[in-house]
Amino acid sequence: MNYIYEAEGKNKAEAEKKVLETLGLNEGDVNLKADKNTGGGILGMVSRKPVVVRAYLEGDGSKIPVETIIKGVVLTLIAKMGIDAEVVNVGDLEGNIYVELASEDSGILIGKQGRTVDALQFLLNLLIDSRSRNGRRIMIDIANYREKRQRRLSRMAKSIADKVARTRRSVALEYMNPYERRIVHISLEDDDRVFTRSDGNGLYKRVRILPAGGPGGSEESDQMDYDQGIYEEEY
């Protein structure tokens, strides 16, 4: 995918207008090309199917704000999933580029335990040159999911820490991405009764909460899965 956005129209002019309006650009800011496999019709006048126009960056793309590039790419990816969405905001958050989305199908975009939005976020970071975003990581949020998830994880971590301190048995939480594991670690870093570590390999790992050193501490783990019960995600 070396274009930043695509749109459909009854004809090329209509599709080009949609591209420019969506990205907030003027004619000449990007290179607009119609897909040769779309449109067509009798003498090129009556189209049998919509015309697809794609926007390509001119040169190294430095003239186009990275926020505009991100908006175009993320909307194109979501459209290819068959879902309508809107980019509410693209801004800076704690040194990262924060992308806020809105959609009537937010539950589908989020996915179980946020796996779908995580995959979308991974693709976005892969597709957009890190140099154009000055090495900043792109983070996607939908329907305030990240904030809600953060509160739930912090609450869960503190609750399990109480149990670990009481029973002196370590507990391994559900598999989490790096961002979520960091939330758990930070939530418990000032709790002298326990300490945390990440177990496993790959992107998704478990955070293990262990009792602080001393007699009675046990490495035996209660493997807990909080996909259900009071910690179930409401999406």
Q: What is the DSSP string of 37-74?
A: TS---BTTTB-SS-EEEEEE-STTSTTS-HHHHHHHHH
Identify the domain boundary among 32, 64, 96.
Answer: 64
| Domain shared by 169 and 227, yes or no | yes
pLDDT in tens, the chain (235 residues): 589 999 999 999 999 999 999 999 998 899 999 988 776 555 555 556 899 999 999 887 888 999 999 999 999 999 999 999 999 999 998 889 999 999 999 999 999 888 899 999 999 999 999 888 999 999 999 999 988 999 999 999 999 999 999 999 999 999 998 889 999 999 999 999 999 999 999 888 999 999 998 544 444 444 444 333 323 332 2
| Domain shared by 164 and 134, yes or no | no
| Domain shared by 178 and 199, yes or no | yes
CATH number at residue 90: 3.30.300.20
Q: Model-level pTM?
A: 0.76
Structural domain range at position 110: 65-143
CB 145 within 8 A of CB 114: yes
| Domain shared by 184 and 216, yes or no | yes
* Spacing of C-alpha 1 from chain mean position: 18
> Which residue spans within 47-181 are E strands per DSSP?
51-56, 86-93, 96-102, 138-142, 169-176
CB 102 within 8 A of CB 140: no
How far apart CA 55 and CA 24 sit, in angstroms, is 12
Predicted local distance difference test score (pLDDT) of residue 142: 95
Residue 15, helix vs strand vs coil: helix
| Domain shared by 224 and 154, yes or no | yes
| Domain shared by 92 and 155, yes or no | no
Identify the domain boundary among 143, 160, 185.
Answer: 143
Predicted local distance difference test score (pLDDT) of residue 40: 58
Domain count, the chain: 3
Which among 211, 208, 235, 233 is positioned nearest to 223, based on CA atoms?
Answer: 208
Q: Compute the Cα dihedral for 73, 74, 76, 77 and give only its sign.
A: positive
| Domain shared by 127 and 174, yes or no | no
| Domain shared by 214 and 188, yes or no | yes
Identify the domain boundary among 64, 94, 113.
Answer: 64
CATH number at residue 224: 3.30.1370.50
| Domain shared by 180 and 194, yes or no | yes
| Domain shared by 153 and 218, yes or no | yes
Token code pair at residue 74:
């993320």
Predicted local distance difference test score (pLDDT) of residue 8: 93
Predicted local distance difference test score (pLDDT) of residue 224: 45
> Who contacts 140 (Cβ-Cβ below 8 Å, separation ≥6)?
74, 99, 101, 117, 120, 121, 124
